């Protein structure tokens, strides 16, 4: 291990100009730099695999312009009640059998009610007992709720920043970006690992994509996982008619995220099912090293899952074992002082 003074430092003081300059590099140069950072911190042949289950779908009171689960949009999504623990466990067993190492449980809430927490805590305990890492995304949390989830054995909490601070009010009107930052602080304070990224292709400018990544990288701790979603334009949502983002710009976003947050899992998330195999391969080259496994999840013989495994085989990639996903593999990296919560 190198002496302390020689250790690579995780920066939390990126300026907008620096991030913009990365975006503006010639494409081959940007990918070269990102691939170098990737292999300095990870085995580039390994991809972490997570599975996502919606444990409570639709009927959400928020107005996120991209989301088919918002009650106010007519998208054909039917609201459901919270699933039973036994039904969640059955899905978790299937996910494990299909090769997932992390099981994420998502509920379409603005924030959970206190009475919901013991029910979700029971699910977390049981899923954890199967030997899976656990992640939840339940909306905004109080400090007390975050601690209760941690006590139940939760490993990760997902809470995305969605977009750049200066673009936030164009997409969401029922909360402020500071609400997101506050929940992330509660999650960190409770000792949970954070999963936090955003969505691109919502009509934002390159400057605003840079603003999203700058804000993520300048959080007091880099998120452990950074999902970069590509907008899925769902009929009935306000963003249904948004022009498609240039796929190379999406790859640039992945590459810049990798450079800014070298030891984070950069995840291809929503929108991956509509990407070509070639585009996904470029994303892996640019430093993406985590995926959600299949989009229509957990069904035996799921064609999405089969396509993923075929792509892994063609590219010589393999799922990352759980034991190699923790912070221990990065023990030679030190954190620089955080500049503050927001950019």
Q: Identify the CA nearest to 187 among candidates 147, 152, 134.
A: 147
59 token code pair: 């009927």
For residue 8, the Cα-to-chain-centroid distance in whole angstroms is 24
67 tagged catalytic = yes
Least Å from the CB of residue 76 to ligand SF4 = 15
| Catalytic-role residue among 102, 104, 188, 283 | 104
Cβ closest to ligand SF4, residue 270 vs residue 342 = 270
Contact 58, 80 (CB under 8 A): yes
The yes or no reply on residue 202 touching ligand SF4 (CB under 6 A) is no
| Window 14-53: contact mask with ligand SF4 (x via CB under 6 A) | ----------------------------------------
| Catalytic-role residue among 67, 175, 180, 252 | 67
Ligand-binding annotation for 104, yes or no, is: yes
Ligand-binding annotation for 195, yes or no, is: yes
Helix and strand numbers (H, E) in the chain are 11, 12
135 tagged catalytic = yes
User: Residue 15 and residue 40: Cα distance in Å, rounded?
Assistant: 23
DSSP state, residue 267:
E
User: Residue 216 and residue 223: Cα distance in Å, rounded?
Assistant: 7
Cβ closest to ligand SF4, residue 39 vs residue 72 = 72
User: Residue 94 and residue 104: Cα distance in Å, rounded?
Assistant: 13
Least Å from the CB of residue 29 to ligand SF4 = 35
Ligand-binding annotation for 283, yes or no, is: no
The yes or no reply on residue 260 touching ligand SF4 (CB under 6 A) is no
The total of other beta-carbon atoms located within 10 Å of residue 4's CB is 8
Q: Tell me which residues in 98-117 interact with ligand SF4 (CB under 6 A).
A: 108, 110
| Window 61-80: contact mask with ligand SF4 (x via CB under 6 A) | -x-x--x-xx----------
| Catalytic-role residue among 60, 102, 263, 272 | 60
The total of other beta-carbon atoms located within 10 Å of residue 278's CB is 9
**Where is 178: in which H helix or E strand?**
helix 177-189
User: What residue numbers does the annotated binding site for [4Fe-4S] cluster cover?
Assistant: 60, 64, 67
Contacts with ligand SF4 by CB under 6 A lie at 60, 62, 64, 67, 69-70, 108, 110, 139
């Amino acid at each position: 291990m190198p002496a302390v003074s020689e250790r690579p430092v995780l920066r939390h003081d990126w300026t907008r100009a620096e991030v913009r300059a990365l975006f503006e590099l010639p494409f081959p140069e940007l990918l070269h730099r990102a691939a170098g950072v990737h292999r300095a911190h990870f085995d580039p042949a390994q991809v972490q695999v997570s599975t996502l289950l919606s444990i409570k779908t639709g009927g959400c009171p928020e107005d996120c312009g991209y989301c088919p689960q918002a009650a106010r949009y007519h998208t054909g999504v039917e609201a459901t009640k919270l699933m039973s623990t036994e039904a969640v466990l059955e899905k978790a067993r299937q996910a494990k059998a299909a090769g997932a190492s992390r099981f994420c449980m998502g509920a379409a809430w603005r924030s959970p009610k206190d009475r919901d927490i013991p029910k979700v805590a029971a699910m977390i305990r049981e899923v954890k007992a199967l030997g899976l890492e656990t992640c939840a995304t339940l909306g905004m949390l109080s400090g007390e709720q975050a601690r209760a989830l941690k006590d139940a054995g939760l490993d990760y909490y997902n809470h995305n920043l969605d977009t750049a601070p200066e673009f936030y009010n164009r997409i969401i009107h029922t909360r402020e970006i500071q609400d997101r930052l506050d929940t992330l602080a509660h999650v960190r304070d409770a000792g949970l690992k954070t999963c936090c990224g955003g969505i691109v292709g919502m009509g934002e400018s390159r400057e605003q994509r840079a603003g999203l990544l700058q804000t993520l990288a300048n959080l007091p701790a880099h998120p452990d996982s950074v999902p970069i979603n590509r907008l899925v334009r769902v009929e009935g949502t306000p963003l249904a008619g948004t022009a498609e983002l240039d796929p190379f710009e999406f790859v640039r976003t992945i590459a810049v995220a990798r450079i800014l947050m070298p030891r984070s899992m950069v995840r291809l998330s929503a929108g991956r099912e509509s990407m070509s195999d070639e585009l996904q391969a470029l994303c892996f080259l640019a430093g993406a090293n985590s995926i959600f496994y299949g989009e229509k999840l957990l069904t035996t013989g799921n064609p999405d899952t089969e396509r993923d495994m075929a792509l892994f085989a063609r590219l010589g990639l393999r799922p990352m074992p759980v034991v190699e996903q923790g912070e221990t593999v990065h023990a030679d990296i030190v954190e620089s002082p955080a500049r503050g919560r927001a950019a």
